[in-house]
Amino acid sequence: MRDVAIVGAGQTPYGDHPEAGIKELFASAFGAMADSVDRGFDATALDAAYVGSLGVGGSQLGITGASLTSHLGLTGLPVQRVENACASGGFALLDAVHAVGSGASDAVLAAGVEKMLDLSGDRSKYWLGVSGDTEYERLAGMTFAGVYAIAARRYLHETDAEREHLSRVAVKNHENGAVNPKAQFQREVSLERATGAPEIAAPLNLYDACPTTDGAACALVVPADEAREYTDDPVYVTGFGGGSDHLALHDRETITSLSAVREAAEAAYDRADKTPEDVDFAEVHDCFTIAELLAYEDLGFADRGEGWRLIAEGRTRRDGDLPVNTSGGLKAKGHPLGATGIGQVVEVFDQLRGDAGDRQVDGDVALSHNVGGSGGAATVFIYEVDA
Residues marked active site are found at 86, 335
Please report, for residues 165, 169, 307, the alpha-carbon distance to residue 172 in angstroms, rounded to integers and kept in the order given: 11, 5, 15
Q: What phi, psi does 306 have (nearest 5°)?
A: -115, 5
Kindly calculate the radius of gyration of the chain based on its CA atoms and give it in whole angstroms: 19
Question: Which of 191, 162, 171 lies closest to 331, judged by CA?
Answer: 171
**DSSP-assigned beta bridge partners for residue 52:** 82, 112
The β-bridge relationship of strands 79-82 and 48-52 is parallel
Going 253 to 256 to 260 to 262, the CA torsion angle's sign is: negative
CA distance 270 to 119: 42
Q: Tell me if 3 sits within 8 A of 182, measured CB to CB.
A: no
Q: Give the helix/strand (H/E) hosting 261.
A: helix 259-272
**Nearest Cα to Cα of residue 215 among 368, 371, 32, 82:** 32
Contacts 24+ apart (CB under 8 A), 127-135: 127/54, 127/55, 127/57, 127/58, 128/212, 130/54, 131/54, 131/85, 131/86, 131/372, 131/373, 131/376, 132/247, 132/373, 132/374, 133/246, 133/247, 133/248, 133/249, 135/248
155, 160, 162, 168: CA torsion to nearest 10: -90
Binning the chain into helix, strand and coil, the percentages to the nearest 5 are 40, 20, 40
The number of angstroms, rounded, from the C-alpha of 289 to the middle of its chain's C-alpha atoms is 14
Contact 32, 13 (CB under 8 A): no
